[in-house]
Amino acid sequence: MVRGLLGKLAGRSLSAAGKWQQQQLRRLNIHEYQGAELMSKHGINVPKGVAVGSLDEVRKALQEVFPNQSEVVVKSQILAGGRGLGTFKNGFQGGVKIVKADKVEDIAGKMLGQILVTKQTGPQGKVVSKVYLAEKLSLVNEMYFAITLDRITAGPLIIACKKGGTSIEDLAEKHPELIVKVSIDVFKGITDEDAAKVVDGLSPKVADRNSSIEQVKKLYELFCKCDCTLLEINPIAETADSQLVAADAKLNFDDNAAFRQKEIFALRDPTQEDPREVAAAKADLNYIGLDGEIGCMVNGAGLAMATMDIIKLHGGTPANFLDVGGNASEDQVVEAFKILTSDDKVKAILVNIFGGIMKCDVIASGIVNAAKQVQLKVPVVVRLEGTNVDQGKRILKESGMALITAEDLDDAAEKAVKASAS
């Protein structure tokens, strides 16, 4: 829920996207318990907690980690927000509960292995494979803290609010004066003055000011060292013993930094992602699953967007964004067709290739090989233009495949929409 709002606040001069939508994973998203472990390693105060995946592990954690706790917080772990207000498909209400220690096993059992639906998951929901058991803190004040990337200043932006634990979007809309933004110079790094401004924005009531400033600096250090694109803590809270604690956290990481953040990227949970997008990533294809009926395979992001637009113009709906790039191999084209045909909603496939670096004959050979490996049950419309177009068209013609050819993009889109309706 934060990405869009963070962007809005950073640009207006604050989200992960208010409304649910599927989107390309440009940013690695990790579970809350993983984020807490990472922050703890960087010296940031977090509640004591442990992730468990079975009732045996729940019992063991209660004995070893929480032997003297009267109450424990039980948090379902899925890569989506709104868990506390979510509903399980088994009818159980709420993905975050504060319960008596003797009820933890029962509550965890109603979450583990079940599908949790929130306003960010879409109606299909996500499976809860782990729950996070955390100590119940005595909180005296809840605030909001986030670091994101600001396009205007071309650097990190820290956002602080003295009210937290609730929808930051609503707060920003109704009380914008409570939102404090501090831009950080990437060359200088965070200064004591910057951190002090953030702490003033948080307005802690009991936490030590100097200790709070150090916590802010450590959070910024984590953001930079780990190549984060988002670090959001809602709430960052004060405890009865005057500590500033990250009571909840959301961390995203730049996929471009995977080569130097191997330990972090090993935390990726593919079971929480669209399996088609996982398969596409393994094949080095850019894929985003959508809800339409016309599968698209295009080379180049701009042409892919234009293809999706013209499909809509002709009354159809694209089932995906799929960019095979400028130098895809035949194997990648075959994998692309496997991904497209794995979607039961796809009623037709539109291949739109403008050959530059990408050669039309390579695409054509990939289509023919894909047809041999994948049983094509839907019509395929092909528009080829550019490098080696004649060779590509000849390969397709000699294959004997029942393809629908098109002369230009408008013609291709019109034929694809008509084919999907028949």
The pair of structure tokens assigned to 46 is 């977090």
| DSSP summary character for residue 30 | -
User: To which H or E segment does residue 314 belong?
Assistant: none
The answer on whether 248 is annotated among ligand-binding residues is yes
Residue that has been written with the tokens 């953040």 in this structure: 261
Confirm whether 232 is a catalytic residue.
yes
The pair of structure tokens assigned to 52 is 């468990």
The answer on whether 151 is annotated among ligand-binding residues is no
The answer on whether 83 is annotated among ligand-binding residues is yes
Confirm whether 144 is a catalytic residue.
yes
DSSP-derived 3-state class of residue 176: helix
- End-to-end CA, the chain: 39
The answer on whether 299 is annotated among ligand-binding residues is yes
| DSSP summary character for residue 187 | T
Question: Comparing C-alpha atoms, which of 322, 321, 319, 320 is closest to residue 293?
Answer: 319
Catalytic residue among 33, 144, 220, 287: 144
If phi > 0 it is left, if psi is from -120 to 50 it is alpha, else beta; for residue 277 that is: alpha
The answer on whether 395 is annotated among ligand-binding residues is no
Catalytic residue among 32, 33, 132, 232: 232
Type of residue numbered 33: Y
The answer on whether 75 is annotated among ligand-binding residues is yes
Question: Comparing C-alpha atoms, which of 80, 47, 236 is closest to residue 158?
Answer: 236
Contact 153, 183 (CB under 8 A): yes
The answer on whether 388 is annotated among ligand-binding residues is no
d(CA 219, CA 246): 10
The answer on whether 90 is annotated among ligand-binding residues is no
Beta bridge partners of 134: 49, 73
The set of catalytic residues is 144, 232
Q: What residues form the annotated binding site for ATP? A: 75, 82-84, 142
The binding site for Mg(2+) comprises 234, 248
Give binding residues as ranges. Answer: 75, 82-84, 142, 234, 248, 299, 356-358
Binding residues for substrate: 299, 356-358
